[in-house]
A and B are shown apart, each in its own frame.
Chain A
Amino acid sequence: MVGKRGGEEEGKEAKRQNTGGGGMPGGSQEEEVDMDVERELLEEENEQDMVEAFFDDQKPSSMDAPSLEDGDYGRNWCRPPLEEDQLDASTQPLVFQQIECDYTIQRAHKDFVPPELKGASVPVVRMYGVNRSGNSVCAFVHGFEPYFYVELPGSGFTPDDVDAFRQSLEKEIINSRGGGVTSGFKSVTRIEVEQKKSLWGYNPGQNKPFLKVTTLLPQFVSKSRTIIERGLNIPGLGHRAFRTYESNVLFILRFMIDCKIVGGNWLEFPKGSYQVRQGSDKATYSQLEVDVRYDSIVSHASEGEFMDLAKLRILSIDIECAGRKGHFPEAEIDPVIQIANMLTVQGEPEPRVRNILTLGSCAPIVGSEVMSFDKEAELLKKWADLVRKTDPDIIIGYNILKFDLPYLIDRANKLGVKEFSYLGRVKNSVVRMRDTVFSSKAYGTRESKEITIEGRVQFDLFTVIQRDHKLSSYSLNNVSATFLGEQKEDVHHSCITDLQNGNEETRRRLAVYCLKDAYLPQRLLDKLMYMYNYIEMARVTGVPLNFLLTRGQSIKVFSQILRKAQERGLLVPALKGGGQQDGVAFEGATVLEANAGYYTKPVATLDFASLYPSIMMAHNLCYCTLLPQSMVRTLNPEDYTKTPSGQYFVKSSLSKGILPEILEELLGARKRAKAELKKAKDEFLKGVLNGRQLALKVSANSVYGFTGATVGKMPCLEISASVTAFGREMIMHTKSLVTQKYCKANGYEFDSEVVYGDSVTADTALLLRDDAGKIETRRIDSISSSWKRRDDGKEVAYVPAVQVMTDTGFAKIEQVVRHKTKKQMYRVVTHNGIVDVTEDHSLLLEDASEVRPVDVQLGTRLLHANLSDIVVKERTLVSKQEAKVMGFFFGDGSCGKYGSGIDTKYSWALSNADYELLLYMQQLCPFPTKLLDTLKSSGVYKLVTVGDVKSVVVKYRAMFYNEHREKIVPQCILNASNEVVQAFWTGYYKADGDRGNLKPEEYHNADYVDMPCVRCDCKGKEGSLGLYLVGQRLGYNVSINTRADKPDIFRLTYTRNTQRRCPTAIKKIVNLGITEQYVYDLTTSNSHFHVGPGRMVVHNTDSVMIKFGNKDLKKSMDLGEEAAQYVSDTFVKPIKLEFEKCYFPYLLISKKRYAGLLWTETEKYDKMDTKGIETVRRDNCALVRNVVSSCLEKVLIEQDVEGAVSYVKRTISDLLQNKLDMSLLVVTKELSKTSYAAKQAHVELAEKMRKRDAATAPQLGDRVPYVIIKGLKGAKAYEKAEDPIYALENKLPIDYAHYVDHHLSLPLMRIFEPIIKNPKSLLVGEHTRKVVNPTGRKTGGGMMGFLTVGAKCLGCKTPLPKGAGNLCKHCKSQEADIYTKEVRALRDLEAGFNRLWTQCQRCSGSLHQDVLCTARDCPIFYRRKKTQVDLVEQQEKVNTFSW
C-alpha cells in the first residue's frame, strides 16, 4: 500500500518525471510554488491498483518482528516496551506528539465512517508520533472528507440546480478518469449551500451563498476545480464556469486546519474515542496503532506541559563506499562498506547506540557496537532491519538526501536486496525516490532527491545549514569548525578503499572515522538547536515538519491565512498561479548611511524595525481591506488610505485585515518570546524560546513576500506594491526630516550632508524639464559646462533651473558630479531600459532597494519610471507638415557645412530610395527644395534645399544634433501637441520604419501611420530616448534592445499590445570592460534618477549621514536615539524608526563595502561589522583574509593606521622573502564542470594531476587547491597553478610577486584609499626590494633543469669549491654567528613541527596510529607538510657545520 503525503493535484500540471525507486536521471523543475503542489501525480494513476494490492498483498511476515541478536547494545536499539494499560482505549486517553502526517486510500472503517460509505475507498489520515513514555504511535484518522467551495454568481441557483450541478460534475469526473475508480460510489459525495464571504476585496455586505463540494477522494478536489473553472454544462443553466475557493489546499493541510492541529504539537484522543489495533491488524511497525475519528481529536496548544518535545528517536547515519581509484563512488559498481549509526533520544546528551556495520571483519571499537558482514547484501539487509527495529522518528545525517540514502537505495536495488526497501513505518511499503529541483527565492535553487520513507522525517543537516547559514564552504569539516569549533579528520576517498582492503585494524580505523562522521550531524543538530527551532516553526505556522524542510516560505503564510480566514468565515479564493517569478526582497531598508571615507567619529545608523510588517499593520494592508476603485466613492475619505502606489485600502476602523492580524500575533508572540527569553534561566527553555522568536521573525517577514510572489498561491500586487511604495516614501521622508532638523541652522554642531559617488557613462541620456515646464533630452555630460573641482578630486556642477525625471516624477537636481575612473563598466538591459554603469553603482530593485550590477541576474526586476503620462505644460508650435518633414529628417536626413573660411558650403538633404516618398515630402517642406536623382552615385534620391540653405541648416543643426553630433529628437517635437508628435512619428516612420508587408501606396500618401507594431533602430542614447518618448506619447509600449556588434545602436520596438515579457526584468548584462573616461552621477531630492533611453531608474549614491561634532559616543547615541524618536513620531503606528547602532570608527569603502566597530552600548563595542570586504570570500587565499582582517583590526580597534601600514609592509616583505606559511597562499576553487570555455587555473591543474596520478586527482565537485608558482617566462597564469603538496615536495618556487599584484593589491587599495594619501606606497618601495627566491631542486623547467646547483657559502652566498665546507674563508670567522642563525631557523621549525603534528594527533584522536587526515580545508594541512619539508632541509643545512 502506498501512502501519500498530502492531498490533491493542482490544476496546473507540472511537468515532472517520477523515477520511482530507481535512479533515472532527469529532474523536474519545480519552483517554490510548485512545491506546494501535490507531487504524486503519476502515482495517482496507480492508486486503484494499490488500493487493491493492500488487501491482497501478504509480504514476508518475518519483517513484522525484526529479529536481532541483542548484543550489549541491542536493548538500546529498541524503544521502551509499551505499557500494558496504554492498550486499554476505554480507560486511557492517548496523548502523543505527532511529528509526521500523511494519508492513504483505504476501505472505509466500519466504526468510524458513516454507513453510506461502507465498502468505499476513502482517504485515511495517518499521524505518526511518540507518546510521553517514548512509544511510537501511529493513528489512523477516519472520516475526514476533502472539500472545497464554489462561488455562486448571483441568484437564480435553486436547490434543484445544486443537484444538477453535482451530477454534471460527477459525470465530468468520471469522464476524465475513465470511470470505475470509485467502484460505485459517488465521486462528489455531497454539495451543500453555505453562507460565506470571499477574503478578496473589502466586502462590507452580507454573506453570500457558496457551494461546499465534498468529494470522496482528495484528488477529486483539484479535478473538480479544473472542471468547474473551465466550465461545465448544467441542465437548465447551460455551460457555466465558476470560481472556486480553497480548492488548492492540500488535503493534509485541510485536515490539520479543520482539526486545529499544527505541526509537531501534542494531540489527545479521549478515552473511549479510539480503538487499538493489535496483532495482525497492525499495518505499521509502530508500537501503538489506533483508529480514531477526526472529530474526537483534541489538539493541544503548545503551552505548559505541551511545550515539551517527546522522546523522539533520532538516527544519524553515515556511509562509506569503496570507490575505484580515480573515480567517485558509483552505486552501480562500488560497494557500501560501512554504515555508522548513532541513535539518540531527544533530550539525552549522549547517543544511546553507537553502531557500525562493516563489510569484512573489523577490530572492536570501545563504546561502539561493531557488526561485521562478509556479504554486502547481508549488511544492507541488517541495516534496514536495525532501522525497523529502532523505529526512528527522524533520520539525520550530512548530505544524506543527495548521497547516503540514494546510494543505499540504489545499491540495494542493484544487489536485489528486496527487504531493504521497507524502511518506512508502514509495513510492505517500499521507499520511493525521485529527483527534484527545489527552487525558492528565499533559499535559492538546490538539486536534491526526494525520498519517501513513510512516517520518518528526513533531516539533512547539509541542506538545512546551506539554507540557514552563509558559509565559505559547506564541507562537514568547515561546518563543524564553524559551529563546533573543531577540525574534523578527513580521509581522502582514494584512501578509503586501501583501508578497506587492509586488515581488521585498518577497517577499524575507517570505522572510527565513519562513526565520527555519523556523530557530527547529531552534535550540529543539538548545537544549532534545530529540533527546537523547527518544531517551533511548525507549531507557529501550522504546517507539518516536513513542509518546512521540503517546501518554501509561502506554504507557511498560506496555512496561517487559511486558519485566520476560517475563523472569520472568509473563504480564500483559489487563484491561478502564473507569470514570472517575482523578485522580492524582505530586507528592511537601512536609512542612514555615510559617505565613503574613514571616520574616526561616531556614525549613527537608524533602521526601521520590521519595516514591511509594520507598514502592513500601520496601513491595514490586506486582501480583505483592498478597496476596489468602484467603491472608493461610496466611503468617507477618512475611512480609507490611498497608498503612494495608488491603491486604496480601508482603515482598520472599518474592517481589520487578516494579514495585519497575523502579523500582530506573530510579532506580539515574538515580543513575548523575547521577554521570556530574557527571564529564562534554564538552557533548555532558552533554546525553545529562542527558536520560537526566530521562527516568528522569519514568518512575519515572509508575509510580505507571499503577497508579492506572482507565482504564489495568492499574489496581490496591490498589497506588495503599496508596501514598497510606502517604504520608499518613508525613507525619503526620513532623509528630508533629518537633513532639515539636524543642521547648523538649528543650532547643532553639524550638518547632515548629501553625498555622491560614481555612476553612469557620459552618453547616458536624461529627460529634463526646465522651469517653464518644457521637457528635453540631454546627455549627462552636456548637462553643464562649468565644473568645479572638489577637494576629493571630483568635479561638481550645479544646474539649478532643471529637473530630472525619477521614478516619482520630475525632481530637483541638486548637483552633478563627475570624475575620471578606471573601473569595470556594465551594461544592464531590461526590456524597457538600458544603462551603462560602473561595477559598484547601485541599480534599484522594484522595491527601491539597491543592488550592484554584479549582483543582479537575468530576470531580476528593476525599478522603472513611468514615462507615459508626462504632462507637457507648454505646447510648442510646429506645423504638422513640418513635423512630418522633421520626422523624415530624423530618419533619413542630414545637414551640415563643409569647407572652411570663405568657401563654406551648407547642405540639407533628405535621402531615400523611394522617389514617390520624397515627392510627398517636397510638398510638405516649408522652404524651397529640389529633388536630385543621385540613385546611381549613392543609391538614393535626394531632396535638398535651395536658396537660403544656411538658415535651414543652422535651424536644423541646432534642433537635431547634440554636441556629440548624434541625432536627437527636437525639443519642439517633445513639447508639441499629440497631433504634431503623431506627424513627426509618421514622417519618421515613412523614412525609416519597418514596413512589414505594407504596400507602398498604403504608406506613401497616408496622412498618419498607426501601425500596431513598428520596429526601428536608432544611433545614440539621446536620440533613442527621444524616440522612446515619442512612442510613449502615442500610446505605444516601447521595448528596447541592443546589438552586440554596434553598442551605440539601439533597437526600439513599438507595440500597442501588452508586452510579452516582463518589461522591467533584466534581459542582458554585458561587461563593457574598463573605462578610463569620466563617469557621472547626479543627485536628486529622492536619490533616484531616470536614465535613457528607456524607463530605467537608478540610484545615485545617496545617503544622509549625521556627522557628529564631537567624539563622544554617548552623545552620538543619544542624538541617534533622539533622531529616531523624532522621525518615528511622524509615522503611523506601529512603524518605528529605531536607533540601532553606532559605528565608531567607521571605514566606508563604497556603498556595499564597509567595516566598522559596532557599538550598541557605550562600554564595549559589540563586534567588528564588515560587509563586502575580502575577509570571508573563499576564492581568496588566506593571506588576503588575514592581511585584510588584521588591517581592519589595527585601523578600527586599535585606531593605529601607522601600525596597519607597517604591518602590511612587513607582510609583503615577508611574502617576498619566502617567510610566510604557504598555506596562506593556497587558493581553492571548485571543479564544477569538465569543459570550461576559458582556461582556468584549477581546471588545468586538475588535468595535470590526473596525468600524474588518476587516483588522487580531484574529481568533479571536489575543491581544487592550488598555489601559483614561478613559471617559464610568458607562461599564462593558468599554467602556473600547482598542487600545493606537489609544489612543496618538489620545492617549486612560489610566484610571490603574483600574490602581491593579483591578490593583495586590490583589497588593500580599497581599504587604504580612504585612509592614507598614497596607498600605492604599500605595494612598492623599500620593503619590496629584498626578494628571496629559493632555488628549488626542480625549478619550472627550461635551462635550470640542466644546471647543477653548486655549494655556496652559507654566510655570503659565494660559490664554494667542492669539499670546502660550508663557509668561505671570509665568513669562517663568523661561524658561530652564522651557525646560530641557522639554528634559530631550525628551532622555529622544530617547534612548529611539534605543535602541528601533535595537533593532528589530537584531532584524529589517536596517539598510536599515524595521522591519515587529508582535510585540505584545515588551516594547518599545508603548513604541517611545509614545515616537515623545510625542517628536513634546514636540518641538512645545520648538519653541514662539521663537528
Chain B
Amino acid sequence: MTGASARLFHTQVVREEAGSRTAADLPFATTTQADDVEGGGVERSRGSYKCRDDAYLVGDRVYNKQYAHLYFQRLQNLSPLVLDKVKAKWPTVPVRKILEVELGVECAVVGTVYKNMKLKPSVLDEYAKDKSLETHLASTKFVSGDDTLVLEDEGARMNLGCKGDSLDPADFVSGVCVAVRGTEEEGGNFVVKEVCLPGPARQEPVVPDSEAKYVALVSGLGLGDEKRDPLPLQLLADYVTGALGDYDGLAGKITRMVVVGNTLKEVGQVSMGEDKREASRGVGGLREADMFLTQIASSMPVDVMPGPTDPCNVSMPQQPLHRCLLPSTTCYSNVGRVTNPHGFEVDGVSFLGTSGQNIDDVMKYVAHEDRLGAMAATLEWCHSAPTAPDTLPCFPFVDQDPFVLKDCPHVYFAGNQPSLETGIAEGKEGQRVRLISLPSFAEKQTCVLVNLRDLSCHPIVFGSNLDQ
C-alpha cells in the first residue's frame, strides 16, 4: 500500500519479503550428472491445465482500422461494471452522459480518461526543429506538474478539474474507464469530488489442492548476448529438470514452467546488405533458446511467451513465437507457444501474466515507482493495458477489447521488471491476487516458484558467482 495510490485503490497490497535462495545454497552436483538424469531425475507432479489465450489470439491481423473502435469497446465493456459500483457507492447521485451534465448540479459520469502530458513523446517531435525536445524524449517518465485529465464518453469530452485531494492526475493513466462524481463549474471544468473504478473483477474461488505444486516463472532470459555467462541458465535448467537432484523438494513439484518474454536479448539485427555474421546473431540466440526449451520440455510442460525483444510482432497482444524460430522445441507437444498477455489455469488457479510492457508503460504515466501498486491498479481498472494504444503499440481491435479483465486472476505477474517484488492484493469483495513483479533472468538470475496451494512465492537465484 503506497501513499500515491492510497486514495484510490481498495485493493490491499500486502508485500512480502521474498526470502530467496541462491544457487550457492544448493548442494552441488556436477553438471555431468545432469546427463544421467535425462528426462528428470524426480517424479514430477502433474496438474490440470487450461489455456485461456483465445481473446489474445488475433487470427487475421488487418490494420485498416483506427483505434476509436477499441476505446469504444473498452467503454462498452467496462461501463456496466463501473455503473454497478456507482449504484452501490453513490446511490443518490444521478448518472449522466457528459452532454447531459448540467452546470452546478452534482452528478456522476462514466467515461474514458485521457491524460494530457506535455512530456509525452509525439511523432510530430521528429519534425520539430527545436532540438531541446530530445531531452524530454530521453526521460522515461512523462509525468509533469502540468498534466491534466479529460474524461470522454461516446458523445463528448470534458476537462476534469482537480480541487483538493479528490483526484491527482499523477495517479492516472490514459485509457482507463472510470466514474467521477462532481459538478461542472463555469468554464466547462468538471470538478471531481470522488472517483469510482470498475474493478477488481469477480474472482473464482480456488479449491486448494492438498498437495503443494509449483509453477515456475522465469522472464527475460536475454539469450544471444555473447557476453552473458551461460552458467546460471544451465543451473536453472538443471535445477528444474531435477538434474541437480531434488534438494529442497520443490523441483519435483514444479508442474509447469512459464518462460515469460524477452527470451532473446534483441530482435536479430538482420538487414539487407549487412554482414552475414551479424545476421546469424539473432539465430544464435534462438538456437540457445531452442536448446534450453527442449531441455525443459523433456521434463515438464513449458509455456513460451513472446516479449518486446523477441522476434515477434511488437503490438499488444503479441502473438506466439513462430514455429520456425524454435524448430526443436516445436516438436514437443508439451510446449505451448502462447501469447503475451498469457492467461491460463493450473489446477483451478488462474494466472495472468505479461512480459511487462503494460506495467512499464503505466509507470511512465504515474509519479510513483511502485510496480506492485501499478499492477494492483490495473486490476482495479479491470484492464491489463490501459495505455494501449495511446503509448503502447496495440492492434486496432474492432469488436472487442481483449485487455479488459472479465475476471480477476489468482496470480498476476509482469515479467522483465527491475527487481523482484511480490505481494498479495486483496480486494473488497474477497479477491486475493498474488502479484509478482518478475525480474529479468539475465539481470537477476532469478526464477520464481508459485505454490498453487497457498499462492506463496519462492524465488530461487542462480548466481554463478560461487565464491560468495
Interface residues of A (CB under 8 A from B): 72, 350, 354, 363-368, 485, 487, 505, 508, 1330, 1375-1377, 1379-1381, 1383-1384, 1386-1387, 1390-1399, 1401-1402, 1405-1411, 1419-1420, 1428, 1431-1432, 1435, 1438-1439, 1441, 1443
Distance of A1407 Cα from B389 Cα, bound (Å):
10
Given the known A-B contacts A367-B187, A1394-B389, A1406-B157, are A1379 and B311 also in contact in the complex, defined by CB atoms under 8 Å? yes
**Which of A1384, A1396, A1410 makes the CB contact (< 8 A) with B270?**
A1384
Residue of A365, A1397, A1398, A1428 with most partner-chain B CB within 10 A? A1398
Question: Counting CB contacts under 8 A, is B98 at the interface?
Answer: yes
Question: Counting CB contacts under 8 A, is B322 at the interface?
Answer: yes
- Please indicate the chain B residues that have their CB under 8 angstroms from the CB of A1376 in the complex: 282-283, 286, 311, 324-325, 327
Q: Are A1387 and B66 in contact (CB under 8 A)?
A: no
Q: Are B152 and A1419 in contact (CB under 8 A)?
A: no
- Please indicate the chain A residues that have their CB under 8 angstroms from the CB of B127 in the complex: 1419
Given the known A-B contacts A367-B158, A1387-B267, A1435-B61, are A1410 and B124 also in contact in the complex, defined by CB atoms under 8 Å? no
Q: Which of B140-182 touch A at CB < 8 Å?
A: 152-159, 175
Distance of A364 Cα from B102 Cα, bound (Å):
11
Q: Are B270 and A1377 in contact (CB under 8 A)?
A: yes
Residue of B62, B268, B311, B391 with most partner-chain A CB within 10 A? B311
Distance of A72 Cα from B123 Cα, bound (Å):
39
Q: Are B314 and A1377 in contact (CB under 8 A)?
A: no
Q: Are B268 and A1432 in contact (CB under 8 A)?
A: no
B54 CB → nearest A CB, Å: 16
Q: Are A1407 and B112 in contact (CB under 8 A)?
A: yes
Distance of A1439 Cα from B58 Cα, bound (Å):
12
B147 CB → nearest A CB, Å: 14
Residue of A1377, A1392, A1441 with most partner-chain B CB within 10 A? A1377
**Which of B123, B155, B159 makes the CB contact (< 8 A) with A363?**
B155
- Please indicate the chain B residues that have their CB under 8 angstroms from the CB of A1439 in the complex: 61
Question: Counting CB contacts under 8 A, is B114 at the interface?
Answer: yes
- Please indicate the chain A residues that have their CB under 8 angstroms from the CB of B153 in the complex: 1408
Q: Are B71 and A1394 in contact (CB under 8 A)?
A: no
- Digitize B272-312: 1 where CB-to-A-CB distance is under 8 Å, 0 elsewhere: 11000001101100100000000000000000000000011
**Which of A1407, A1411, A1419 makes the CB contact (< 8 A) with B114?**
A1407
- Please indicate the chain B residues that have their CB under 8 angstroms from the CB of A485 in the complex: 128
Q: Are A1387 and B314 in contact (CB under 8 A)?
A: yes
Distance of A354 Cα from B187 Cα, bound (Å):
9
- Please indicate the chain A residues that have their CB under 8 angstroms from the CB of B159 in the complex: 367
Q: Are A1377 and B279 in contact (CB under 8 A)?
A: yes
Q: Are B112 and A1399 in contact (CB under 8 A)?
A: no
Q: Which of B71-92 touch A at CB < 8 Å?
A: 71-72, 75
**Which of B64, B279, B394 makes the CB contact (< 8 A) with A1432?**
B64
Q: Are B393 and A1394 in contact (CB under 8 A)?
A: yes
Q: Which label, helix, strand, loop or mixed, suits the secondary structure of the A interface?
A: helix
Contacts A/B (CB < 8 Å), 9 sampled = A364-B156, A365-B156, A1379-B311, A1398-B389, A1407-B68, A1411-B68, A1420-B123, A1435-B63, A1441-B324
| Chain B, residue nearest A1186 (CB) | B127
B-side interface residues, number (CB < 8 Å): 63
A241 CB → nearest B CB, Å: 63
- Please indicate the chain B residues that have their CB under 8 angstroms from the CB of A364 in the complex: 99-100, 155-156
Given the known A-B contacts A1377-B282, A1396-B123, are A1401 and B324 also in contact in the complex, defined by CB atoms under 8 Å? no
**Which of A1330, A1394, A1406 makes the CB contact (< 8 A) with B394?**
A1394
Q: Are B312 and A1383 in contact (CB under 8 A)?
A: yes
Q: Are A367 and B322 in contact (CB under 8 A)?
A: no
Q: Are B99 and A1383 in contact (CB under 8 A)?
A: no
Question: Counting CB contacts under 8 A, is B67 at the interface?
Answer: yes
A502 CB → nearest B CB, Å: 14
Question: Counting CB contacts under 8 A, is B313 at the interface?
Answer: yes
Distance of A1406 Cα from B286 Cα, bound (Å):
42
Distance of A1396 Cα from B396 Cα, bound (Å):
13
Question: Counting CB contacts under 8 A, is B430 at the interface?
Answer: no
A1441 CB → nearest B CB, Å: 6
A1354 CB → nearest B CB, Å: 12
Q: Are A366 and B391 in contact (CB under 8 A)?
A: no
Question: Counting CB contacts under 8 A, is B103 at the interface?
Answer: yes
**Which of B128, B283, B322 makes the CB contact (< 8 A) with A1441?**
B322
B401 CB → nearest A CB, Å: 12
**Additional A-B contact list (14), CB under 8 Å, known A364-B99, A1406-B152, A1407-B152:** A364-B155, A367-B158, A485-B128, A1376-B283, A1390-B313, A1392-B123, A1395-B123, A1398-B389, A1399-B124, A1407-B68, A1408-B72, A1408-B154, A1420-B124, A1443-B322
- Please indicate the chain B residues that have their CB under 8 angstroms from the CB of A365 in the complex: 99, 156
- Please indicate the chain A residues that have their CB under 8 angstroms from the CB of B324 in the complex: 1375-1376, 1379, 1441
The 6 closest A-B pairs by CB, nearest first: A367-B188, A1394-B393, A364-B99, A1387-B314, A366-B158, A1395-B123
Q: Are A1432 and B158 in contact (CB under 8 A)?
A: no
B122 CB → nearest A CB, Å: 5
Distance of A1443 Cα from B159 Cα, bound (Å):
48
Q: Are A1410 and B66 in contact (CB under 8 A)?
A: yes
A1429 CB → nearest B CB, Å: 9
Question: Counting CB contacts under 8 A, is B101 at the interface?
Answer: yes
B59 CB → nearest A CB, Å: 10
Q: Are B72 and A1380 in contact (CB under 8 A)?
A: no
A1224 CB → nearest B CB, Å: 11
B312 CB → nearest A CB, Å: 6
| Chain A, residue nearest B325 (CB) | A1376
Question: Counting CB contacts under 8 A, is B390 at the interface?
Answer: yes
Distance of A1409 Cα from B156 Cα, bound (Å):
9
Distance of A1409 Cα from B313 Cα, bound (Å):
26
Distance of A1383 Cα from B321 Cα, bound (Å):
11
| Chain B, residue nearest A1182 (CB) | B127
Q: Are A72 and B103 in contact (CB under 8 A)?
A: yes
- Please indicate the chain B residues that have their CB under 8 angstroms from the CB of A1406 in the complex: 68, 152, 157
A720 CB → nearest B CB, Å: 39
